[in-house]
Amino acid sequence: MTPAETTVSEAETSVGVGGQYLSFTLGGEDYGVDILRVQEIKGWEAVRPLPDTPDYVKGVLDLRGEIVPIIDPRTRLKLDHAEYTPTTVTIVLTVESKRGQNFVGIVVDGVSDVLDVPGDDVRAAPDLGTHINTKYIIGMVTQGERMVVLLDVDKLFNPDELGLQVNVG
């Protein structure tokens, strides 16, 4: 078996991470996060910018007394920038880190729906070489005509990795 065949074979194996995922769009592509990590979905509102932060940190938002960093996953995932519109929303997530649980808000184009995903339907992300980092991807699932990329919020939005120091409660 050639290395290419091995990669395809491995990419087609089930990763067995089923459950319910909130799906959302970024640049016309579908993504999903574990619904149990979603704390709140709110319409876009201006955030307070912070100096000397990475470009994917848009600022912070006061959410009922908690200061929540707001991340633009487009920038974090190296996708094309888009203007925020009336349909832009912020999804507030709970993220696990070495320091415990943290709230992080992510800015998305729009929320689609909640997907019920059987574990057998989740496929491993293909090995795309060194130019694309798949460590943030739990897997991929096909829902009708859509291919949904399931994101690992603990890796993609980890406050330790992002250099954020905002804790829950």
User: DSSP string of 93-148?
Assistant: EEEEETTEEEEEEEEESEEEEEEEE-GGG-BPPP---TTS--TTEEEEEEETTEEE
Residues 84-116 pLDDT 10s: 888 899 999 999 888 888 899 999 999 999 999
3-class DSSP string for 12-32 = CCECCCCEEEEEEEECCEEEE
CA distance 135 to 123: 14
- Is the pLDDT assigned to residue 129 strictly greater than 60? no
- Whether pTM exceeds 0.85: no
Domains and CATH numbers, the chain: 3-162 (2.40.50.180)
Sign of CA dihedral 113, 118, 121, 126: positive
